[in-house]
Amino acid sequence: MPFDLITRVTDPEHHDAARVRQQLDHRQLPETLNDHEAGASRYQPDDDLLLAINSALVVGAPLLLTGEPGTGKTQVAYFLSWYLGVPLFRYQVRSTSTAQDLKYDFDAVAYLRSAQHPARGRRSRREDFLTRKALWQAYSHPGSSVLLIDEIDKAPRDFPNDLLLELDQHRFRHPFQDREVVSNGQPPVVVITSNAERRLPDAFLRRCVLHCIEMDEDLVQRAVDARVGEFPRLDPDTRKKAIQRFWELYRVEGLSKRPSTAELLTWLAVLSARKQTEDLDLDVSLVELPSLGVLIKDAADLKKL
Instruction: Give residue-wise pLDDT tens across range 239-249.
Output: 999 999 999 99
* CA 130 to mean position of chain CA atoms: 27
Mean pLDDT of 252-256: 93
Q: How confident is the model at residue 5 (pLDDT cuts 50, 70, 90)?
A: confident
Summarize pLDDT for 186-227 with one digit per residue, the tens.
Answer: 889 999 999 987 889 999 999 999 999 999 999 999 999 988
> Does position 38 have pLDDT exceeding 90, yes or no?
no
Q: What is the pLDDT of residue 120?
A: 47
Number of other residues whose CB lies within 10 A of the CB of residue 35: 12
Query: What's the DSSP call for residue 305?
Result: -
Highest mean pLDDT among 43-52, 176-185, 192-201: 43-52
- Which has more confidence, 208 or 2? 208
Residue 69 CB-half CA count within 13 A: 10
CA distance 32 to 29: 9
- Would you say residue 238 has pLDDT above 90? yes
pTM of the model: 0.86
Say how many Å lie between the first and final Cα of the chain, rounded: 32
φ, ψ for residue 149, nearest 5 deg: -110, 105
pLDDT reported for residue 118 = 60
Q: Where are the domains of the chain?
A: 36-212, 215-304
Give the HSE-up count for residue 261: Cα atoms under 13 Å, Cβ half-sphere.
Answer: 25
State the DSSP code for 211: E
pLDDT (0 to 100) of residue 178: 83
Instruction: Assign 251 a pLDDT band (cuts: 50, 70, 90).
Output: very high
CATH number of 36-212: 3.40.50.300
